[in-house]
């Protein structure tokens, strides 16, 4: 069962056993400061191991006072003006202790060594890249099923993909000879004027051809037209691929979220990269 997204007071959270956490996705200022204690009580009652919060820098103090720790920051995240702070509160001590510190360091060092080195190559004539539509949802779900055995959101479900298309998520795909082979999405916060570059998936037999780079470039080109000023991603800290992709494309590393997200049946740490447009 996928984690649920629902209102918590006037704020928005995601929670559930898949990620064993509560994620404060969007904070309503009116909920401060009481929301901090309410999140802790809620997580404790259910037995979750982590509370993860993304909040404006000006709202971070009540969380820090309650033993949340800063795991990443993104400058000018909200409306191109206010910084965002990514905070973690570990209710199970072992969850807060990185289990693969050497791998996290090695992935980051490799990615940083390739920073800013990407040269965009045109797609071959038998490929096309375009925004997806609701009519593509079944084919998109099949790609996500093949690439991801598990995922924090139900992207294997065509109905979910159609719903999110109506809720400020823009998906992009690459087709080869009429067959969908790669996908990505931009989850837009129009009010905050930021977007998460996410849901990258390339069929295994089609990897190594720079499709993720191409999709990222297309999304970057499209986002200013939607009023977006800051782009970011949350990439698997144990995997070289997407960290290298974002580093090559000029994104800046801003921190690691320890044991934050369930991917392929295990909790993995995640790196945050950002770019101010």
Domain chopping of the chain, boundaries? 4-96, 101-276
Give pTM, 2 decimals: 0.92
C-alpha distances (whole Å) from 44 to each of 70, 108, 250 are 20, 33, 40
DSSP assignment of 226-250 equals GT--EEEEEEETT-HHHHHHHHHTT
Judged by average pLDDT, the poorest of 75-84, 118-127, 154-163 is 118-127
User: Do 101-276 and 4-96 fall under one CATH topology?
Assistant: yes
Residue 136: what pLDDT? 97
Mean pLDDT of 187-213: 94
pLDDT of 151 strictly over 80: no
pLDDT of 150 strictly over 90: no
3-class secondary structure, 101: helix
Strands (DSSP E) contained in the chain are 4-8, 11-16, 21-26, 50-56, 69-78, 82-90, 127-131, 169-176, 179-189, 194-202, 230-236, 252-263, 266-276
Strands 194-202 and 230-236: parallel
Residue 1: what pLDDT? 57
What distance in Å separates the CA atoms of residue 211 and residue 189, rounded to the nearest whole number?
Answer: 25
Mean pLDDT of 125-135: 95
For residue 211, what pLDDT band results from cuts at 50, 70 and 90?
Answer: very high
Averaged pLDDT of the chain: 94
Mean pLDDT of 197-218: 93
What distance in Å separates the CA atoms of residue 46 and residue 34, rounded to the nearest whole number?
Answer: 19
CB 142 within 8 A of CB 181: no
For residue 57, what pLDDT band results from cuts at 50, 70 and 90?
Answer: very high
- Tens of pLDDT, residues 29-43: 999 999 999 999 999
Distance in angstroms between the alpha carbons of the first and the last residue of the chain:
37
Residue 264: what pLDDT? 75
Mean pLDDT of 233-252: 94
pLDDT of 87 strictly over 90: yes
Residue 181: what pLDDT? 97
Residue 21: what pLDDT? 96
For residue 117, what pLDDT band results from cuts at 50, 70 and 90?
Answer: confident
What distance in Å separates the CA atoms of residue 140 and residue 161, rounded to the nearest whole number?
Answer: 8
What CATH class has 101-276? Answer: alpha beta
pLDDT of 190 strictly over 90: yes
What distance in Å separates the CA atoms of residue 184 and residue 233, rounded to the nearest whole number?
Answer: 11
**Under CATH, which number does the domain 4-96 receive?**
3.40.630.30
What distance in Å separates the CA atoms of residue 26 and residue 7, rounded to the nearest whole number?
Answer: 10
pLDDT of 118 strictly over 80: no
The pair of structure tokens assigned to 266 is 């295990």
The pair of structure tokens assigned to 122 is 């045109």
Q: Return the higher-pLDDT residue of 1 and 168.
A: 168
What distance in Å separates the CA atoms of residue 241 and residue 238, rounded to the nearest whole number?
Answer: 9
pLDDT of 230 strictly over 70: yes
Q: How many helices (H) and strands (E) does the chain have?
A: 7, 13
For residue 104, what pLDDT band results from cuts at 50, 70 and 90?
Answer: very high
Residue 69: what pLDDT? 97
pLDDT of 18 strictly over 90: no
Q: At what angle do helices 240-248 and 101-113 cross, to 10 degrees?
A: 30
Mean pLDDT of 199-227: 94
What distance in Å separates the CA atoms of residue 158 and residue 162, rounded to the nearest whole number?
Answer: 6
3-class secondary structure, 267: strand
């Amino acid at each position: 069962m996928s984690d649920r997204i629902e209102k918590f007071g006037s704020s928005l959270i995601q929670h559930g056993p898949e990620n064993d956490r509560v994620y404060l996705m969007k904070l309503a200022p009116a909920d401060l400061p009481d929301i901090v204690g309410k999140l802790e009580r809620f997580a404790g009652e259910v037995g979750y191991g982590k509370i993860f919060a993304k909040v404006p820098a000006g709202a971070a103090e009540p969380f820090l006072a309650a033993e949340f720790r800063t795991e990443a920051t993104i400058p000018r995240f909200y409306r191109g003006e206010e910084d965002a702070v990514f905070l973690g509160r570990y209710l199970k001590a072992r969850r807060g202790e990185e289990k693969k510190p050497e791998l996290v360091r090695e992935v980051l060092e490799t990615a940083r060594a390739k920073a800013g080195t990407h040269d965009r190559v045109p797609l071959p004539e038998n490929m096309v890249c375009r925004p997806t539509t609701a009519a593509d949802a079944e084919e998109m779900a099949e790609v996500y099923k093949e690439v991801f055995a598990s995922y924090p959101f139900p992207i294997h479900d065509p109905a979910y993909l159609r719903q999110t298309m109506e809720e400020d998520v823009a998906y992009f795909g690459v087709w080869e000879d009429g067959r969908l082979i790669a996908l990505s999405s931009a989850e837009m916060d129009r009010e905050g004027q930021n977007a998460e570059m996410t849901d990258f998936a390339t069929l295994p037999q089609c990897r190594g051809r720079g499709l993720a780079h191409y999709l990222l470039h297309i999304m970057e080109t499209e986002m200013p037209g939607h009023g977006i000023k800051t782009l970011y991603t949350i990439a698997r800290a144990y995997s070289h691929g997407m960290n290298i992709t974002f580093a090559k494309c000029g994104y800046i590393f801003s921190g690691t979220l320890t044991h934050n997200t369930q991917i392929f049946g295990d909790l993995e740490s995640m790196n945050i990269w950002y770019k101010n447009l």
